[in-house]
C-alpha cells in the first residue's frame, strides 16, 4: 500500500522540488498540492493523505492555523527555511521538521519515521540460552537456577512445575506456552500439552500404544507419556 502525501507551500518551485524528491520513492504518491491555506484545508480534507508536507510560512499566514481546521487524521511534516518553529512543531506532535533546502537522505529518514510510526518494529522475542541463569521466587527468597538444570516442566493449574537436576521442584507462575517460546529448542521439546522435557536428560524412549511413546528421564522415577500428536512431530524432527 502506497503512502499518500500532500504538499502545501506558497512557492511553486518549492512544491516542484519536493515533488521531484518524493518521486524517487516507489511507495509514495503525491495526491495533491496547494499554495494557500484555504486550498490546503480543502485538499487535505478531500484526499485524506497519510502525510502532509507543510510549509510553516504561507505568505502572511502561519500554517499552524491549518491544523485546527483539518477534519481528517494525518501526519504532519513541517518544511521551512527557518528553525525557530521547531519547538512548537514537536509540541503539537509533528512527525518531523525539515529545513529547506530538503536533502534526499533527510527526506528518507522522515519517510522511514512515518513507516515506523504506523508499523513499529516488533521487539525480538526473548529466548533463553542453555547456559543462562534465571531468578525465581521461593517464599521470601530469590533463587538463581540455570536453564540447563531444568529436567522437565509440567503443567500445574495456572502454574508450571520445574523438575530440577538436583531432585527439587519449583512452582512458577508461567504458562507452558510461555516456556515453549522462551526455552532453546535445541535442548527442550514439548512432548505433551502438559509436559516439556530437556533432551539432555532423556535416558530411554519406549514405543507405547496408538503410536505414542513413553519417555524416561534421569533423576525422575516415573515416565512421561508423549502424546500421539507430539510423537509424530518428535519422530519426524529427529529421524535419521
Pairing, β 75-80 against β 51-55: parallel
Residue, of 73 and 6, whose pLDDT is higher: 6
Q: Summarize pLDDT for 89-126 with one digit per residue, the tens.
A: 666 778 898 999 999 999 999 999 999 887 655 555 57
| Res 221: pLDDT | 82
For residues 163 and 151, the answer to whether their CB atoms sit within 8 Å is yes
pLDDT band at 69 (very low <50, low <70, confident <90, very high): confident
Q: Summarize pLDDT for 218-240 with one digit per residue, the tens.
A: 978 889 999 999 999 999 888 87
Mean pLDDT taken over the chain = 89
Say what the pTM is: 0.51
Residue/partner pairs of 138-143 with CB below 8 Å, 24 or more apart: 138/170, 143/170
Amino acid at each position: 500500500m502506497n503512502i499518500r502525501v500532500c504538499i502545501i507551500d506558497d512557492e511553486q518551485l518549492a512544491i516542484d522540488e519536493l515533488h521531484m524528491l518524493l518521486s524517487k520513492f516507489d511507495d509514495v504518491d503525491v495526491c495533491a498540492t496547494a499554495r494557500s491555506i484555504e486550498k490546503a484545508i480543502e485538499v487535505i480534507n478531500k484526499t485524506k493523505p497519510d502525510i502532509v508536507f507543510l510549509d510553516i510560512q504561507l505568505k502572511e499566514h502561519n500554517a499552524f492555523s491549518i491544523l485546527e481546521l483539518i477534519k481528517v487524521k494525518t501526519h504532519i511534516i513541517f518544511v521551512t527555511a527557518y528553525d525557530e518553529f521547531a519547538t512548537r512543531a514537536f509540541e503539537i506532535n509533528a512527525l518531523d521538521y525539515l529545513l529547506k533546502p530538503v536533502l534526499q537522505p533527510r527526506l528518507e529518514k522522515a519517510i522511514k519515521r512515518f513507516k515506523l510510526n504506523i508499523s513499529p518494529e516488533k521487539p525480538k522475542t526473548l529466548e533463553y540460552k542453555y547456559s543462562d541463569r534465571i531468578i525465581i521466587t521461593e517464599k521470601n527468597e530469590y533463587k538463581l537456577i540455570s536453564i540447563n538444570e531444568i529436567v522437565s516442566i509440567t503443567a500445574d493449574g495456572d502454574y508450571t512445575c520445574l523438575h530440577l537436576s538436583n531432585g527439587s521442584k519449583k512452582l512458577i507462575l508461567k504458562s507452558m506456552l510461555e516456556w515453549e517460546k522462551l526455552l532453546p529448542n535445541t535442548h527442550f521439546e514439548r512432548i505433551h500439552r502438559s509436559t516439556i522435557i530437556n533432551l539432555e536428560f532423556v535416558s530411554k524412549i519406549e514405543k507405547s500404544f496408538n503410536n505414542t511413546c513413553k519417555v524416561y528421564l534421569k533423576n525422575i522415577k516415573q515416565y512421561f507419556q508423549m502424546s500421539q500428536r507430539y510423537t509424530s512431530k518428535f519422530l519426524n524432527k529427529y529421524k535419521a
